[in-house]
Amino acid sequence: MNPDTTLRADADWWRDAVFYQVYIRSFADGNGDGVGDLAGIRSRLPYLADLGVDALWITPFYPSPMADHGYDVADPRDVEPVFGDLAEFDALLAEAHALGIRVTVDLVPNHSSDARDWFQAALAAGPGSPERGRYLFRDGRGADGSEPPNNWPSVFGGPAWSRVPDGQWYLHIFAPEQPDLDFTHADVLADLEETMRFWLDRGVDGFRIDVAHGMAKPEGLPDMVPMEDTGLLADHGPGDHRFDQDEVHAVHRRIRRVLDQYPGTMAVGEVWVSDDDRLARYLRPDELQLAFNFKLLTAEWSTEDLRDAVVHSLASVSGTPAPACWVLSNHDRPRHVTRYGGGETGLQRARAAALFQLALPGAAYVYNGDELGMPNVDDLPEEVLQDPVWERSGHTERGRDACRVPMPWSGEEPSYGFSSSPETWLPMPADWAALTVEAQAADPSSIQSLYRKALRLRSSSPAFAGEELQWLPAPEDCLAFRRPGGLVCLLNLSHAPVPLPEGPVLLASADVSAGQVPVDAAVWLQG
């Protein structure tokens, strides 16, 4: 059967899909400039098909001055030359579809780049102009207006306001190069819809929505409750007026109306809202299909943390039409191999976590390199750091570069087949030869081989049927659950091996042939 036809037929494909996050700069470089691009992704589609992923999420590849590596979008309806062009994107999309892989792209509605024509026009037009109305320009406080209009901090450090030469200030929740748009202005929503249609008409299968809990700002922009940690992408609750305002849901309803005109398409929201009920509001029938639940992404290697992450994620979707949506790592947080302790321990735990994540009911996101057990590269020299967090924090926080180092594909030395150039936008460690896709593909016991087997089972075995999860009694410091189709997953977080439960073993992250599940291991059984 033509995979393209199958793709269109299954409108709810995203409910249990495995999405693969391609951080475009770091996945594969097709033109030898040391930066990943669309041609690189295209050349690696056979790898992704063989790995068994259902869909891609490609991070922003739109024209951008790269103040925040593409999350500062100067033109949402074109391709940044560093990454390719529209023809390359169309070819990638067609080839992915032919291989049965869906493609979703990033939508960045909350802010634009300061290089966008709108912002440049706003600067030129001056205070009180309609052009300024698309952004959040305000007069400052104090007799001479030299104080920012309110006390909001930027999540990248420093105030969320910058002053322009005529004396007004503009709001930027992120970097100064990312001015926030005003969603009460009709142009802003109309433009968002135009962007959505532009990519949907080309054939994309959906969107990942950046800062999906942003966009709406409270009337009058009041001061927020002062907070010690106002930092990156954390959820600070109701006193933090920058996020999760009730008016944001009207924007999501508009987004959904567009998607509903393109059957089989979807959106997942980046919603850093930790309260289960507040998160559930984004998943109402006329809003997002999926919302990342970041509790698993931030959980430490402990029974309590992991169980809590599952319980809360399921609680937030119960009563909504949405399934849960599981993430272990992404381009904003330390990679989980490192979060779980690093080294051999971190790797064994990451293997077990992969089986835990992929056994849970709902959609799952795999970040490029998760399947290789890639760790953070925490010793990048200071002079190569690029994340705006590094500058904005006055060199006190190193930012997110450590989890964004390019992926190693083959060979013995940098850039390990990532690029034809040995130089890459972030340097790659000298000791990654054993980590490469090529080295791991040849080793049936590698984490990559484990992912391949797990994804194959997940998509073919009836054991994975059903969206419910039933906790099972388990030895101390272990977690065990069953899915309606019969899948049993046991995760051993204790300090000693535990007996292997009864039933045929489908897959294990470590050797269970002695009838025991080792420390830091997980097993799938047919229950």
Residues that bind ligand NOJ (CB under 6 A): 68, 71, 108, 174, 210-211, 270, 331-332
Cβ proximity to ligand NOJ, 331 vs 335, nearer residue: 331
Residue 452 C-beta: closest distance to ligand NOJ, Å: 27
Active-site position among 37, 210, 276, 332: 210
Residue 408 C-beta: closest distance to ligand NOJ, Å: 22
Query: Active site includes 210?
Result: yes
Residue 325 C-beta: closest distance to ligand NOJ, Å: 15
Residue 440 sits at φ, ψ, to 5 deg, of -75, -30
Contact 239, 224 (CB under 8 A): yes
Strands 470-471 and 478-482: antiparallel
Active-site position among 16, 72, 270, 287: 270
Token pair of 210 as six digits: 């950046």
Residue 333 C-beta: closest distance to ligand NOJ, Å: 9
The residue among 55, 324, 312 whose CA lies nearest residue 204 is 55
Alpha helices by DSSP H, 138-275: 186-202, 248-260
Residue 23 C-beta: closest distance to ligand NOJ, Å: 9
- Report DSSP state, residue 14: G
Q: Rounded to the nearest 10 degrees, how much is the dihedral formed by the CA atoms of 35, 46, 457, 518?
A: -50
Measured distance CA(472)–CA(140) in Å, rounded: 58
Residue 330 C-beta: closest distance to ligand NOJ, Å: 7
Measured distance CA(314)–CA(336) in Å, rounded: 21
Cβ proximity to ligand NOJ, 155 vs 428, nearer residue: 155
- Report DSSP state, residue 376: P
Measured distance CA(68)–CA(387) in Å, rounded: 7
Q: Which residue is nearest to ligand NOJ (CB)?
A: 71
Cβ proximity to ligand NOJ, 210 vs 276, nearer residue: 210
Q: Rounded to the nearest 10 degrees, how much is the dihedral formed by the CA atoms of 83, 289, 20, 454?
A: -170
The residue among 224, 229, 226, 227 whose CA lies nearest residue 241 is 224
Strand partners, 169: 138, 163
Cβ proximity to ligand NOJ, 274 vs 494, nearer residue: 274
Query: Active site includes 412?
Result: no
Residue 68 C-beta: closest distance to ligand NOJ, Å: 5
Token pair of 104 as six digits: 């979703």
Measured distance CA(158)–CA(82) in Å, rounded: 30
SS3 assignment, position 159:
strand
Strands 521-526 and 487-492: antiparallel
Measured CA to CA in angstroms, residue 233 lies from 154, 366, 473 at distances of: 10, 19, 35
Cβ proximity to ligand NOJ, 103 vs 211, nearer residue: 211
The residues annotated with a catalytic role in the active site are 210, 270
